[in-house]
Structure 1
């Protein structure tokens, strides 16, 4: 049976070159371009045989980690059908473990895997010329291939189980933004380095960290053995990754063969937008509804647009007051994080009378609170992930990166946590749906000012220790930068969890008063 499946796999690969002339031409052109890219990559690696081990490690590990990550992301991004889907072989009556092993071996017979094999072998040969033991190069080639194949298998299995029915334009947009979040900071980091004939220290530190990850450990193994640093940790990660992926693959095959696909009607496949993307849970429903009105309601769009404008305006008086430009560069991103966390402090008021759906359905308060935060999180994470490295690059000291991350995470998450309480405890009237976002109703009390001040000042107060450690890091204390990072993450997560819990409980108890407010405002 294993030999039969392997013959089928070879026949499928050859069958890709048959069919309509246009399809054959596109496939042939794609293969030629891929072969040219692989040849260029191998030639580039060979030309580095006289480079220092540090320089070659930087190229091999970063490039190899990107390739390995591509095997995990490609099935999710493209959404293409898996020709080795275990469901196709369910009628053969094979046990899950033998079938998973056969499919994993068959997965090695693919053009991308052959391309990775060529690059990995070339990398091992160059490491050998740099006096790394040849046996470790061969061992790393095997680990690289197995890791890439199992990553693709696991990613395709997860895609077939959860994403095939929910493939949509919205999901593609989220994935594109996710890739942008990863690519832009890396490009900014590399562009900001000072190359003076040697590998920059910052890049070597990034490569060292990458060698401890599942994506870069197998590629880094020969260089680590050659240098004799952190051999045990890198070996553990490099060997443990395919073992963990293999166990996950066997478990997924068992799950797939023991469950049936939920039939999907034509109506369910189209027209639901974000409801096709989010999970079919109360939290997912609230998140989908919130995403719809955050992307279409002018009142929310205006609030979002004002945030970067307000952050940019702060730069002018600081520069006019004589504050050095490298310090001013660090100011806008924390302000953006502060306002992003502050945004949902009155989100219930924007629902108007539509909030009755949440109350009448007996929705759990935490589901309402979490679902309403999803649009802000999807907006804030890319903005901060892109803005933080840009700000640090203009500042000129990458040692400030941990402190900046800690400050922004604390301000953002603390703001979200306090907003989750404020929006149910003290909502205030806003412009009604369809009205101009610049038209504000008259308010008889000070609830609006109190609600805004509570979130804004409370966020700053809770983040004060993180801001203090970041200030010390700005004076050159590297240890304070690490403290700011972990303290910011810890404080932000705790405040967010408490805010969601408290806000959810208040939402359930004050349902009637919230409805009265919606009817009266």
Structure 2
């Protein structure tokens, strides 16, 4: 029976390459995993474990990759997972089922990466007198990762009984993997640049005290600490292996959880807002931002752009602390810019705005509420952290001012653009990456023009901020913050007024355009 389960796992992996779209996705995942594995081996050969910063980076990278490996099976969706519940209808001996599922966990990308991580860890310590201890720690660590990922899949599949929960778990797993890879890359870059090695060592000491870094810090400790960590790892392996048959039996024999649909009461967001036109549009826009896949994809993708810019600039040799000044302005810029075509996302729902005696101001103001509610708290919370981590004195006013200015200016420009120059967009219910046919070159021109317009209106504030950074002038940085906030407020008010006038004048044309596309 064990060999049948292993063949089933291989067949399940092979099914990912059936169909053109599925094959492309599977190939991309395979390339990413291969790149991570190759990077681990290559970086392990460069590690000098006699240096404290290299040992710290080794602990952080190994722990981050371990976290990604543990949640990796969830990133493909529970529908593709080989978990105990799938065998509930078959008379499979529980012991053989547990053994087969345990061995099947090694087959696949997570298992291969766990083995690769263990090998890379051993390579890093190969030329020292603790090479044998590193081999033992790597083997135990790989086994623990495979077993923990199996437990996580089994328990999650039992608890996640709704499609919404499954989608949320899948998205959270993918986000966790992205953050883990980013943390590993950041640790490597800090070692290469030689910046903030003391902070890196402090972070590694904290990570080493957690279950993620418990084993990876073993070879770098003293004799008693090494023995304690390896003993703890061996006990963990024994406990995980011993409890696995019992967990499998409980999941297979337990009644399947059934989600009871809750009674829908009230009108949701509409119960929370005043009975005005602007508030009603704001409530409907909030529904779009929280439930529509097209908007959710944007919310998930917004943090990616600053992260990619930071990694690219760090690789180019830019000082790492200064890079923390990038996320807040870039996030604010793209959040405000995204609404430049929000009218096109309404499609047939646009007729209500045309038929009702609706002022253009009410439509424009209602649509900017969701990005304001999302962006303003995030900017206010992230700005102090960015200013602190950048190690630039008195930079906080410039960060928060330019961040709010870019967000408000972007919403003001978008309020005019979405009413004046909309272009075809994916229909409601479409996937986040679906695009309508025949978009044409107009979309590219509108996107570029609106983005450049936001930057142009904010250029005085951005120029003052750059000058303040270069001259280390606190007064200039404070002036940049005030200028950014004032510019953003003025552009938001002006954009809503002009956009409202244009929207009311062009409402029938907008409806015709949306219905044609």
TM interval, shorter chain, is 0.3 to 0.5
**Could you tell me the TM-score, scaled by structure 2's length?**
0.48
**Could you tell me the TM-score, scaled by structure 1's length?**
0.48
